[in-house]
Amino acid sequence: MTTEMSPESVSGPSSTDQSGPESFSTTASKVTTVLGWLSLASIAALLAFGLLISPPEISQGESVRLFYIHVPSAIVCLYIAFSITFVGSVIYLRKQSVFWDLVAGASAEVGVVFLGFTLATGMLWGKPTWGTYWTWDPRLTSTAVSFVLYLGYLAVRRLDMDPVARSKRAAILGIISFANLIIIRYSVAWWRSLHQGTTLDPRDTQLDDSMLVSFFLGLVALSLTFAWLVIHRFRVAWLEHQLEAQQLEVAIAERTASAGPTGLAAGGA
Amino acid sequence: MIRHAKLIAAKDLRIEVSSKVLTAQILPFGVLVLVLFGFGIPPDRRVLGTDTDVSRSLLEQAAPGLFWLAVLFSALLAINRSFAIESADGNLDALRLAGFDPGGVFLGKSLAVAAELIVLELVVGLGAFLLYGPPLNDVVLLVATVTLTTGALAFAGILYGALGAGSRLRDTLVPLLVLPVLAPVLLAATRATESALFGPSSDGWAWVGFLGAFSLLYLGAGILSFGSLLEES
């Protein structure tokens, strides 16, 4: 990610690299520009296949098309985004690298957006299929709880306190939240299994070839979009981090220049 | 670590005894929630029990869940209180300076909250029996459920309470953090209590196992991570 960037844009952000702000003038690079166009192209292909080429499903009708975005976005946020947050949190706690802290945060933030999207599309699919927006289906219920779980993680990242202590707390939370994700999922599934039979499972239905292509395209499109968003979100966070560090230096420099060495000591007393 | 935990727990409980926040504020709140549930759920509506053909009042059938909800909301107050008493004068930093083992601080604060929760559960539980009038099928299962749920609430609550400690946003942050985490506990405790009240007991013991595993997990996580959480708080 960092090696192929053009010199006028991003110079490899890492925990040790403290290069000046002029080297980080845009959050785009050649790689992300290509990634962005690939995302758009795959979304266009997904629209063509998902809405026009693939047939409606026998029992679910047209609403099956929601699955081409619903299931991929669930996979991207629950399996990819929060795993990245987990890994980033572990590495941050071991190495104290700002890079991984910001990666964990960026991934969780975009993950929460995808999770909200998953919930919304799931409910839209539920209305024509189950006749109601909400049922106490295990997946739906546990996804809603997980959504709030990661909103809490994002809230901790915005706490009004020392950035290092905050990052440490966020990292611990990023690790435990991942365990909670699993606990919530299994406990809710177990809870519902005692009370009702399994609900309609999309994986049981036979998929036409063009449906499989649409589903695969959805997975590709949403993964690419996710990667593109996370990289940009990370770079904005990295800029913010550099700006904070730089503001302090500028303030100190201005104070020193205006007061002089003796004046500073007197002013600081 | 155990010795430090005892010291911290004793300190928190002494503060509790002298300030009487539990008895004067948290207990009445818990009982009030029980009464308010009666306004939300029509008391004279009757439903068929899930287990038998016996018809019960809706409140009676929902009693296990309502009891644990009342306990959960009151527990949030107890958890916030546990960190409110540490927020003045950088008390958590002072505890570290005094050479307290972070795991011991975690264990001590958890035990103090657990002791308060036991009192709370006795009073709110008595209130629930009086107000909702459910039967009691298996006392041993009920005691096991209450004990392990108390552990789960205290350990997870103190760990998450520490995440908000030292911030002005603590009061609003901690419920957001801890409620989704405790959702599985609420679920398990409600199911186990349903079995203990209405039977059959066999279903309940599986959930008790879940509560035990959850408590142990958070006990371990709290002892391991409390050092990092207390640093620079």
- pLDDT of residue B29 exceeding 80, the answer is yes
Please give the mean pLDDT across all residues of chain A. 80
- Compute the average pLDDT of residues B103-132: 93
CA atoms within 13 A on the CB side of A123: 11
What is the residue extent of each domain of chain B?
2-230
pLDDT in tens, A128-148: 888 888 888 788 888 899 999
For testing the chain B interface, which of A93, A119, A161 should be mutated: the one with the most B CBs within 10 Å?
A: A161
pLDDT value at residue A60: 72
pLDDT in tens, A223-247: 999 999 999 999 999 988 888 888 8
pLDDT in tens, A10-20: 444 444 444 44
- On chain B, the residues whose CB falls within 8 A of the CB of A191 are 187, 191
pLDDT value at residue B153: 96
pLDDT value at residue A11: 41
Percent of chain A with pLDDT strictly greater than 90: 28
pLDDT value at residue A24: 52
- Residue A51 to chain B, least CA–CA distance (Å): 36
| Residue A134 DSSP SS3 | coil
Report the distance separating Cα B4 and Cα B90, nearest Å. Answer: 19
Q: Cα-flanking dihedrals φ and ψ of residue B46, to 5°?
A: -110, 145
ipTM: 0.85
Residue A214 pLDDT class (50, 70, 90 cuts) = confident
**Which residue among A159, A183, A190 places its CB closest to the CB of B167?**
A159
Report the distance separating Cα A105 and Cα A115, nearest Å. Answer: 15
Nearest residue in A to B230, CA atom: A165
pLDDT in tens, A159-172: 878 888 889 889 99
For testing the chain B interface, which of A94, A176, A184 should be mutated: the one with the most B CBs within 10 Å?
A: A176
For tokens 């090696």, name the residue: A3
* Residue A247 CA to its chain's centroid (Å): 28
| Residue A136 DSSP SS3 | coil
Residue A153 pLDDT class (50, 70, 90 cuts) = very high
- On chain A, the residues whose CB falls within 8 A of the CB of B168 are 160
Kindly list the residues of chain A whose beta carbon comes within 8 Å of any beta carbon in chain B: 93, 145-146, 148-149, 151-152, 155-156, 159-162, 164-165, 168-169, 172-173, 176, 179-180, 183-184, 187-188, 190-191, 194
Name, of A72-81, A139-148, A238-247, B149-158, the range with top average pLDDT: B149-158
